[in-house]
Chains A and B, each alone.
Chain A
Amino acid sequence: MLILINPKGLFNPVRTIFSEIAYPFQKTFSIVGRSLDESFAFMGSIGAMKTENEKLIRENNSLVSEIASLQEAKKENDTLREQLNLAPKDKFDLEAAFVIGQDPQSLGSWIMIGKGSADGIKPGMPVIVSDGILVGKVDEISPNSSKVSLLTDSGNAVNVSDLETGAKGLIKGAYGLGMMMDMVAQADVLNQGDTVITSGLGGDIPRGLLVGTIQEVKISSDKLFQQAIVIPRVRYQKLDIVFVIK
């Protein structure tokens, strides 16, 4: 009972001190771990490289002939990008940060980044990856590090809309298991495979950041709203560098 009612903020000073002490260790271990992971992945792929190389030579020959047709596809792609009207990354004041820690528990959903209040980071700031994909919001800060609650955290709620149909709703986390787009009016249209972006309502998160793709559409238990299971566009466990929108 004490665990449940203990106020979260009470231990913040202790947590800040701990974060400050742990920061250099976390940063070092995180970088070493990532490098080792990449090295293992590289070494594991050496055996397959020879076979793959021969295969690639064959593929290369056929790909040359496809280049011409791809030129046309490129034009179409450019047009679609304009139509999507996604938020251009360069219009934000971004602060790049390394991911130095992750939630080891199965139910949690946060990452720790190596930038904090000393770098102008404040709670509530949105965090994206390089492609303009929203991954979460800054939750707690200390001078040199910050905790970012991912979109899959159930404590997070972000206003979103369906890019194709314009249906508006609220996306909530499902404890690391995915995301749920909720509070969508019955009259609105949601389709499987639609792209979900931030709607900008509420003002805390800019409009046009990619969130994910709708996997399944269903009706809420009270039959009042539509819900959709949304699959994130990135694997949160593999995040190396993120950008905080200041």
Chain B
Amino acid sequence: MQNIFIGLILFLSVVLQTSFLPNFFPAGAVPDIALIVIIIWTAQVDFNAVLKWAILGGLLLDLASFWPIGMDVFSFVAVAFVVNSLSKRFLVNQFAWKFFIVMAMIAIGTLINYVIVFSLMKMLVSFKGLADSSGSIINQDLFLKPLYNLIVFAAIYWPLEKLDKTFKYNKRIIIKR
């Protein structure tokens, strides 16, 4: 049940990212809502537990965004790995500052994702012999993306936390039985 629910959240995140959010944000800086969801989960559980969700999230985004399958999968897994390493280092000691630490991880994860996707895109363009006019990696999207992702993070963090607690509570009841 929990797996289906998580899968559904990822699916809706991807649909929101491709169909809903582009109405409000400039092209190129549309928030990566699926990535944000993955980062929030990664900060709370073990990397192995979140790996399958990172792969699923990336796969769904690849399917929805018409890029070669594997690009977002690779990026999401890399981000999950880095975020998980950081959360082990910081979140255990500073749990009271959890919200702000996860916020910092969102910013870092966004930048890593941006750099990976941009680099893979450059390689793809070069590999396929297409005209590359994508410009420098340092452009305004590099600054806008983390900003917009943080705004979306602030909006979905508490509902996701609440959901997580609900599932944990239900699990505890089942164990008692």
Contacts and interface: CB of A to CB of B under 8 A. Distances in A.
A101 B64 contact: yes
A203 interface: no
A176 interface: yes
A19 B22 CA distance: 18
A140 B15 contact: no
Contact of A107 (B14, B20, B68, B121): B121
B39 to A, nearest CB: 16
* Chain A interface residue bracket vs B: 35 or more
B167 interface: no
Contacts of A155: 130
B23 to A, nearest CB: 4
Contact of A6 (B19, B20, B69, B131): B69
B138 to A, nearest CB: 12
A78 interface: no
A154 interface: yes
B66 A37 contact: no
A147 B20 contact: no
B141 A106 contact: yes
Interface in B124-140: 124-125, 127, 130-135, 139
Q: Which of the listed residues B69, B124, B125 has the most CB atoms from chain A within 10 Å of its own CB?
A: B69
A237 B22 contact: yes
A29 B15 contact: yes
Contacts of A14: 63, 69
Contacts of B66: 15, 103, 108, 110, 139-140, 147
B118 to A, nearest CB: 7
B135 A104 contact: no
Contacts of B87: none
B20 A105 contact: no
Main secondary structure of the interface of B (DSSP, over half): helix
A25 to B, nearest CB: 5
Contacts of A172: 131
Contact of B18 (A104, A173, A175, A177): A104
B166 interface: no
Interface in A20-57: 22, 25-27, 29-30, 32-34, 36-37
Contacts of B169: none
B20 A4 contact: no
Contacts of A205: none
Interface residues of B, number: 47
A8 B130 CA distance: 15
Contact of A102 (B27, B74, B117): B27
B65 A32 contact: no
Contact of A33 (B21, B29, B139, B141): B21
Given A18-B63, A177-B133, A29 B16 contact: yes
A30 to B, nearest CB: 4
B60 interface: yes
A236 interface: yes
Q: Which of the listed residues A11, A19, A178 has the most CB atoms from chain B within 10 Å of its own CB?
A: A11
Contacts of B130: 154-155
B20 A174 contact: no
Given A154-B133, A174-B131, A11 B63 contact: yes
A242 interface: no
A67 interface: no
Contacts of A19: 63
5 contacts: A19-B63, A22-B14, A33-B20, A101-B22, A176-B27
Interface of B: 11-12, 14-24, 26-30, 32, 60, 63-71, 74, 114, 117-118, 120-121, 123-125, 127, 130-135, 139, 141
Given A15-B63, A180-B131, 12 more contacts: A3-B70, A19-B63, A22-B11, A26-B18, A27-B19, A29-B16, A104-B18, A104-B30, A112-B18, A147-B66, A154-B131, A175-B134
Q: Top 6 A-B pairs ranked by shortest CB distance?
A: A106-B28, A174-B133, A33-B23, A29-B20, A102-B22, A104-B30
